[in-house]
Amino acid sequence: MTTVQNTIARIEVAEEHRKSESLTTKALRRLRKDKLTLMAMAVILVLVALAALAPVIEGQLGVSYTQVQTESRFLPFGSFPNILGTDDLGRDHLARLLYGGRVSLSIAFFAAMLSIVIGVSLGMITGYYGGIIDDVVNWFISTLNSIPQLFLLLIISALFIRTTTDSGVFPLILVLGLLGWTGTTRLVRGETLSLREREYVVAARAMGANPLRIMFVHILPNLFSVIIITLMIDLGSLIIAEATLSFLGLGVKPPEPTWGNMLQSARDYFNRGVHLVIMPGLLIFITVLCLYVIGDGLRDAFDPTAKE
């Protein structure tokens, strides 16, 4: 009799425990079952690892991403040792893709970080304080958003990046990061507006916590899911933005390879080097696709209204 009751009690405790599971735990459990998202994460990890290992791979294959070799221009796929062939200057295509990936991925990563930091701080401040700061920031955002985004990027890049003497990686990160925060700000502001009225925030305020503490200790952790989802989508759009600018000749300058500027030079060699058109774009496409899939997967996993 007692054992049965013990068992029942234990089940009840277990159920109670399961119910009180935090949203993050629940999300992680859901994510483990989401094969598609996991696969996309794996692909991204592989791509990042390959890009990081670019010098090693280059060394092992005995090829070079900078060495110009006029006698072996436009080698097709499957040559040796240039597995993916060579480009218009005889440089190894695979090595250039890997090094290009390094540049493209780091630009997207650092620009995303910059825009997230700006977006989240401004979003929390405007959402928490409201009033005149909120009005001014909102006015600024709607002004910035009224200018067609790509056009603004083009102009700023043309004016500022083209005049730098180096490859233009650092200014590009700044430009992309400083222009990309508006969406995050709006999102975070909305979340903060509702979080501000929660009991625990009111309680913290009643106990005399200062606004900075409330924002960082009580509001920020609750924005985690929003931030991580935005980060994934942002990374995807930033990779496209970088590629677009570099493709148009307004981003990273050759000889520094990125997936975008590799396509720019490939466009002139439609006849002799079709492989040069296909691969960089394919890598951009796969990376962005995976990031969007991860973003969607995370959104579903963190959705508090979703049923098990």
Partner 1 sequence: MIKYTLRRLFQAIPTFFGITILSYLLLWFAPGDPVSLLTFSPSTTPADRERLAARLGVNDPITVQYLRWLAGDDWMRIDDDGDNISDRCFILPCDADGDGVNEPPGERYGIIRGDFGRSFTRPRNVIDLIAERIPATLELGAISLMLGLVVGVPTGIFAAVRKGSGFDNFTRVSSVVFSAVPIFWLGLILILLFGRVLFPNLSPNPFMLGGQCPPVLIGGCPPLQGRLLYIFLPAFVLAAQVIAVYSRFMRASMLDVIGQDYMRTAHSKGLSRRTVWFRHGARNALIPLATFLGPAITGLLGGAVLTETIFSWPGLGRLGFESVIQQDYPMVMAFVIIGSLATIVGYILSDILYALIDPRIRFD
Residues that bind partner 1 (CB under 8 A): 139-140, 142-152, 154-156, 158-160, 163, 236, 240, 243-244, 247-250, 263, 267, 270, 274, 277-278, 280-281, 284-285, 288-289, 291-293, 296
Taking the least distance from each CB to partner 1, the nearer of 224 and 270 is 270
Residue 159 CB, shortest distance to partner 1, in Å, is 4
Taking the least distance from each CB to partner 1, the nearer of 53 and 277 is 277
- DSSP conformational letter for 184: H
Residue 151 CB, shortest distance to partner 1, in Å, is 6
Residue 283 CB, shortest distance to partner 1, in Å, is 10
CA distance 130 to 152: 28
CA distance 157 to 161: 5
User: What b/e string do you get for 282-303 counting C-beta neighbours within 10 Å, with b at 16 or more?
Assistant: ebbeebbebbbbbbbbbbebbe
Taking the least distance from each CB to partner 1, the nearer of 140 and 200 is 140
**Cβ atoms of residues 205 and 214 within 8 Å:** yes
**Cβ atoms of residues 164 and 98 within 8 Å:** no
Taking the least distance from each CB to partner 1, the nearer of 10 and 267 is 267
Taking the least distance from each CB to partner 1, the nearer of 109 and 269 is 269
**Cβ atoms of residues 138 and 126 within 8 Å:** yes
- Give the CA distances from residue 74 to residues 69, 78, 84, 249, 279, in Å, rounded to whole numbers and listed in that order: 10, 12, 10, 22, 14
Residue 218 CB, shortest distance to partner 1, in Å, is 31
Residue 33 CB, shortest distance to partner 1, in Å, is 17
